[in-house]
Amino acid sequence: MRGMNRPSLVILAALILGCAVDCIDASAQQYPTKPIRAIVGFVPGGATDIMARQLGQKLSESLGQQVIVDNRPGGSGIIAATLAKEAPADGYTIFFGTISTLATNVATIGKLSYDPLKDYAPITLTAATPYFVVVHPAVPAGSLKEFIALARAKPGQLNFASSGTGGGAHLAMEMFRVMAGLNMVHIPYKGAAQATAEVLAGQIQMTFSQPAVMLPHAKAGKLKVLAVTSRKRLASWADAPPIAEAGVPGYEAASWQGVLAPAKTPRAIIDRLHAEIVKALHSAEIERRLVAEGSEIGGISPEDFGRHIKTEIAKWQRVVKEANIKVE
């Protein structure tokens, strides 16, 4: 500006910046003033959708504005992740990310349209759910150690099913296979339901699946649970030891999901959403469901969730390399 000296320009810039900060603070204090969109990258009825709808209902009550779940399935969650990345960073779009959209996609897909570490503001991890290691009853193994011995005695002769190449369950199985030194054949299917059906029919010997899916079949004697991928036993099936205790020291894996917002969403809004989500996670109905499923309830800080995503990306990139999985 002509005629203004340097000190005057500095003062003017500080005033403008202060005004902008005050405007952001005022907006955050009034937040929310309209409905919030919750983007989910999977079809209705799945684990992520159920979480989004349950949390959405609780957030609608606590925030005084409706949270509308927007299902955008397809492309291993890439469609939804890209949509969330491109949304305005104003707190009116949140994204329910998962182990696949935020970690395994990075490890298995060469060129992603988004960067999980740069394009989002983490809010919190909502839940982490381990997998059960299950086999058909005809498989002559009553424990994980016996199964490992069987697989080593029959290299390339035993199959394991997954809900799809590159997904969390597939990579968890590959990590188990590599750490246990096994030569097994991966058979991918189009979804967990199909993979489970093939194991139930005895066409496939083994799979990894979440407790909520496998427990009814295990209780009916249609499948054998040999181990769990978590650090500790689950109350829902206490006879299943952690893989790390049952023959593969250091092993741990889980499916997980969490809530994020577009990058540069104001910190005050992130903190408000974090507080309300944590409160909702510990509501009686959501906590009861997660515990029954064998899930670990989340609620960690935004910073810890960001570190978790970074650690998971590095972990699954290492597994993909060691298991020689082809990157798309």
pLDDT at 292: 82
CA–CA separation, 293 and 232 (whole Å): 14
pLDDT at 16: 57
Give me the residue spans of the domains in the chain: 31-129+255-322, 132-245
In contact, 182 and 152? CB cutoff 8 Å: yes
Tokens of 25: 């603070």
> Rounded mean pLDDT of 277-292?
93
pLDDT at 201: 95
CA–CA separation, 305 and 286 (whole Å): 20
Superfamily (CATH H level) for 132-245: Periplasmic binding protein-like II (3.40.190.10)
More confident residue, 266 or 322: 266
pLDDT band at 189 (very low <50, low <70, confident <90, very high): confident
Residue among 72, 122, 82 at smallest CA distance from 277: 122
What confidence tens digit (pLDDT) does each residue in 93-130 have?
999 999 999 999 999 998 899 999 999 999 999 999 99
What are 83's strand-pairing partners?
A: none
215, pLDDT greater than 70:
yes
Strand 132-135 with 296-297, pairing: unpaired
Q: Is residue 22 packed enough to be buried (19+ CB in 10 Å), middle (13-18) or exposed (0-12)? A: exposed
pLDDT band at 170 (very low <50, low <70, confident <90, very high): very high
Q: Is residue 34 packed enough to be buried (19+ CB in 10 Å), middle (13-18) or exposed (0-12)? A: exposed
Question: Can you count the helices (H) and strands (E) in the chain?
Answer: 12, 11
What confidence tens digit (pLDDT) does each residue in 288-312 have?
989 887 888 999 999 999 999 999 9
Which 3-state string (H, E, C) describes 121-172?
EEEEEEEEECCEEEECCCCCCCCHHHHHHHHHHCCCCCEEEECCCCCHHHHH
Tell me: cis bond preceding 32? Omega within 30 of 0 counts: yes
21, pLDDT greater than 60:
no
Q: How many beta carbons lie within 10 A of that of residue 19, not counting itself? A: 10
pLDDT at 250: 95
Percent of the chain with pLDDT over 70: 91
CA–CA separation, 201 and 195 (whole Å): 10
31-129+255-322 and 132-245 share one CATH topology?
yes
pLDDT band at 15 (very low <50, low <70, confident <90, very high): low
What confidence tens digit (pLDDT) does each residue in 232-277 have?
898 888 899 999 999 899 999 999 999 999 999 999 999 999 999 9
Among 1.10.3720.10, 1.10.1740.110, 3.90.1170.50, 3.40.190.150, what is the CATH number of 31-129+255-322?
3.40.190.150
